[in-house]
Structure 1
Amino acid sequence: MPVKSPKVAVLLAAYNGMHWIEEQLASILGQSDVDVTVHISIDSSTDGTATWCAAYAAEHHQVVVLPDAGRFGGASRNFFRLIRDVDFGSFDFIAFADQDDIWHKDKLQRAVDAIQTRQVDAYSSNVTAFWSDGRTHLLDKAQPQVEWDYLFEAAGPGCTYVFSKKLAESLKAVMLENWQHLQEVTLHDWYCYAFARSHGYRWYIDPLPSMDYRQHERNQVGANKGLSPLISRYKTIHDGWWFNQVQLITKLVGQDSEPFVKDWLQLGRRQLMKLSLNAWRCRRRMRDKVFFFCICWTTALIGNKAK
């Protein structure tokens, strides 16, 4: 009797993806030792993505295009729509996908094996960023998880995330309860990681890259490599966006009443100084711990625009 392959629902958010989506879908449908169904949600596009996806789905029974839902304005709301509208009932695992990457053939198989053998609820991995000129760079996000990292960062690129059905259904239920406030979350991968960790679900970050992570001018969030992305990150923090998201996600996942969190959540000068001394508990990578310490002190000294 043949062994039943795990059934995986892949949630793919698309927007003006005609340059890359065919290659990405081929890499997803070519996954080894899993039964894949791809669910595509298309943000209102101008390059024919919707028409092309409909034709592709008509020829590939493993691909489903969700009905048009208008303009989302960003990947986060598009992924939240996918979680809300896709029925997970017949699937064993749920995975996220971007439209422009190339998955390694064993990406999902490795994720499923890790979840099962390590007895965890979620999986993410490192990725290999690549550029059109042939350059590549390993994005290493697999440092050991620390006590509060999930309130301040994601578990790596969301396009590597794979969830157990139990976690996915729990995530969906809480999302529906907080749907309006959830629309203010800018990064879905950060929120999903925070939800899982704050609710006692176990997460494994694989040090081996599972996909090639395409870099181009249309990336909403790309590889943080070099000085320019560091400057851009500082600007988002100085402008208040990052600390606003920290406060929002902390409240959405129900951690705002924790004693450690209550000590700094108002993000006043004294709270930020105190938070800086806990940098080692708040970020995984050493470089990010140092950056976190400096940002807390800088923001405390020059002011914070977060509300």
Structure 2
Amino acid sequence: MMANLPKVAVFLSAYNGMLYLTEQIESILRQKCVCLHVFISVDKSTDGTEDCLAKWALCEPRLTLLPFGLSFGGAGKNFYRLFRDVSLIGFDYISLADQDDIWLPDKLTRAHQILEKTASDAYSSNVMAFWPGGRKLLIEKSQKQVKWDFLFEAAGPGCTYVVRNELACAIQDVIKNRWMEVQKVGLHDWFVYAFARANGYRWVIDDHAGMLYRQHENNQVGVNSGSRAFVQRARKVLGGWGLTQSALIAQLVGLGNDAFLKRWSGHGRLGLLWLALHACQCRRRLRDKIIFALSCLALCITGRRG
């Protein structure tokens, strides 16, 4: 019976994860109706994460800890390392996991069923964020996809992603062949979504939340809430970071000569004004469309990126 179950490679990125890592991995290993294997890459840590996982992997055949001791400098580069170094042969799907969340038991089964039902190549979903005090909040990412959203945002948290082997292999090839360039993309989940959409793969975003998305002060990327998060986003926007990343991603996913990119990238204030006027094609959620347009106008004023 196990031979008929979908085979899933779970890529898990870790760094100083002792506080929540055990709960996360146990929730992954409890997944129903799938045959899975967890591949773990650890950014050089100081809390014993490597030793703990090395001992666990000795007695749990579904865990593989990649050689450790290297400093990657962020979750994105850690995930790129996983895509580069793990063989995808024999797996139907590749799924991404953070170190501090809790997966509900049917997370992967539901993803498989929806991918089959919709004949899609990749899956992501809403998440239920939760805080130490017990607060919970549904984070909705399942708004209708628009023409160019993938150049300006991810499909949602990367920890919800499940992609078919064919797509994962194509992503792996790009990462291997353009290793130094890909590492300049700060958000791996954004890159994965952009590559899929730009190359004609079908992506489905589920309105169901299949996992609990832990929020705490050490999140590298979490729910954008609070005044500190607002200030951080504002600094990135006014510094032009987002559009610089968009242009880089477009080059990497094969859209470097696309008319849409050429219309705004490198055209200064006029390009930014044009982009602001086309905000409806660039983000999924209405609020984000408005913020995107205002951000482009702010950059017109500061002249930081065009």
Partners in 2 of 1:231 and 1:123 — Cα distance? 31
Match of 2:189 in 1: 189
- Which residue identity does 1:113 align to in structure 2? Q
Cα distance change, pair 280–305 in 1 and its aligned pair in 2 (3 A): closer
Partners in 1 of 2:135 and 2:213 — Cα distance? 12
* 1:37-81 deviations in Å (ceiling 9; x for gaps): 000000000000000001111111101101125100000000000
Per-residue deviation, 1:256: 2.1
Match of 1:72 in 2: 72
- Which residue identity does 1:88 align to in structure 2? L
Q: Secondary structure at the match of 1:210?
A: strand
Counterparts in 2 of 1:253-292, with a 5 A limit?
253-292=253-292
Partners in 2 of 1:267 and 1:193 — Cα distance? 26
Kept after mapping to 2: 8 A contact 1:124/1:206? yes
* 1:11-57 deviations in Å (ceiling 9; x for gaps): 00000000001000110000000001000000000000000001111
Partners in 2 of 1:67 and 1:227 — Cα distance? 39
Per-residue deviation, 1:84: 0.7
Match of 2:29 in 1: 29
- Which residue identity does 2:143 align to in structure 1? Q
Match of 2:178 in 1: 178
Match of 2:91 in 1: 91
Kept after mapping to 2: 8 A contact 1:111/1:123? yes
Kept after mapping to 1: 8 A contact 2:247/2:261? no
Per-residue deviation, 1:2: 7.0
* 1:254-275 deviations in Å (ceiling 9; x for gaps): 2121112210011510000011
- Which residue identity does 1:290 align to in structure 2? I
Partners in 2 of 1:31 and 1:109 — Cα distance? 8
Aligned-residue Cα RMSD (Å) equals 1.3
Partners in 2 of 1:295 and 1:62 — Cα distance? 45
Match of 2:137 in 1: 137
Kept after mapping to 2: 8 A contact 1:43/1:78? yes
Partners in 1 of 2:147 and 2:69 — Cα distance? 38
* 1:113-161 deviations in Å (ceiling 9; x for gaps): 1111110000000001111011111111110000000000000000110
Partners in 2 of 1:280 and 1:305 — Cα distance? 20
Kept after mapping to 1: 8 A contact 2:240/2:299? no
Counterparts in 2 of 1:1-307, with a 5 A limit?
4-68=4-68, 70-305=70-305
Percent sequence identity is 49
* 1:182-229 deviations in Å (ceiling 9; x for gaps): 111100000000000000000001111110000111100110124442
Cα distance change, pair 37–281 in 1 and its aligned pair in 2 (3 A): same
Q: Secondary structure at the match of 1:207?
A: strand
- Unpaired segments of 5 or more residues in structure 2? none
- Which residue identity does 2:229 align to in structure 1? P
Q: Secondary structure at the match of 1:192?
A: helix
Number of aligned residues: 306
Q: Secondary structure at the match of 2:204?
A: strand
Per-residue deviation, 1:3: 6.7
- TM-score scaled by length of structure 1: 0.97
- Unpaired segments of 5 or more residues in structure 1? none
Kept after mapping to 2: 8 A contact 1:129/1:223? yes
- TM-score scaled by length of structure 2: 0.97
Partners in 1 of 2:228 and 2:289 — Cα distance? 19
Cα distance change, pair 3–42 in 1 and its aligned pair in 2 (3 A): closer
- Which residue identity does 1:201 align to in structure 2? Y
Question: Which stretches of structure 1, 4 residues or more, deviate above 4 A after TM superposition?
Answer: none
Kept after mapping to 2: 8 A contact 1:256/1:265? no
Cα distance change, pair 65–302 in 1 and its aligned pair in 2 (3 A): same
Partners in 1 of 2:3 and 2:175 — Cα distance? 34
* 1:232-278 deviations in Å (ceiling 9; x for gaps): 21111112221221111111112121112210011510000011110
